[in-house]
Amino acid sequence: MRRDCYVRSREWAAMSTEQRHLLRVAAVSAARRHGDAVLSHSSAAVMHGLPTWGLDQKRVHVTRGHRSAGRVTGDMHVHSGSASGSGLVAGLPVTTPARTVVDIARTVPFEQAVVIGDAALQRGLATRDQLSSELDEARHCTGIREAEKAIAFLDERSESPGESRSRVFMHRYGLQMPCLQASIRDKRGKVICARGLPLSVRRGRRVRWAHEVQPG
């Protein structure tokens, strides 16, 4: 992986992308090349267990003080910025979930930002007040307008990356937005679906007898 850090190829091949990234984080942390840095962006997302759909996981992302210039090396992406708004996860300094969402929303496309932001709210890892506070802290940073748009679009009722991406798709093409987590009942009043999407199908599941579906 890097000098003095190794993993068996068979074990590496069996790992998920997130597990591989956590090993990269461990290797970088063991080297302690950036003692004043905190894990941030997609690396912080992995540490917090947030979805990483569409995020860069080939490099470990850290943030250092404003006096340090940002740079990209073979296995690291060093961001320049305030190292405040962080805590410890597994003994490592990591940006808070709210700070992580805002950092990512400033630097990735809208869809990826919504996926991770929805998850942070839905899991109770961040609140809207915390996100607003982090937006205010980052008001002079690059990408803040894009972050504000993504944060305003978040919905804590989205329960999966698929639901978040569906909302973005509908918004992008001017379709009717879903009523998330609405209950759909059959003619006997039995709940047969308790999810969003104003359609007779849900991601991965189809309502076979549409004539039985009642609104509510």
Highest mean pLDDT of the ranges 23-32, 43-52, 54-63: 43-52
Are the C-beta atoms of 91 and 120 separated by less than 8 Å? no
Are the C-beta atoms of 138 and 106 separated by less than 8 Å? yes
pTM of the predicted structure, to 2 decimals: 0.79
Helix 97-107, helix 144-153: angle, nearest 10: 120
| Residue 18 belongs to a domain | yes
Q: What is the pLDDT of residue 93?
A: 92
Q: How confident is the model at residue 76 (pLDDT cuts 50, 70, 90)?
A: confident
pLDDT above 90 for 64? no
Instruction: Tell whether 102 and 182 lie within a shared domain.
Output: no
Instruction: Tell whether 121 and 207 lie within a shared domain.
Output: no
Instruction: Tell whether 119 and 199 lie within a shared domain.
Output: no
| Residue 37 belongs to a domain | yes
- For 184, the domain range is 178-216
| Residue 3 belongs to a domain | no
| Residue 4 belongs to a domain | no
CA neighbours within 13 Å on the CB side: how many for 59? Answer: 15
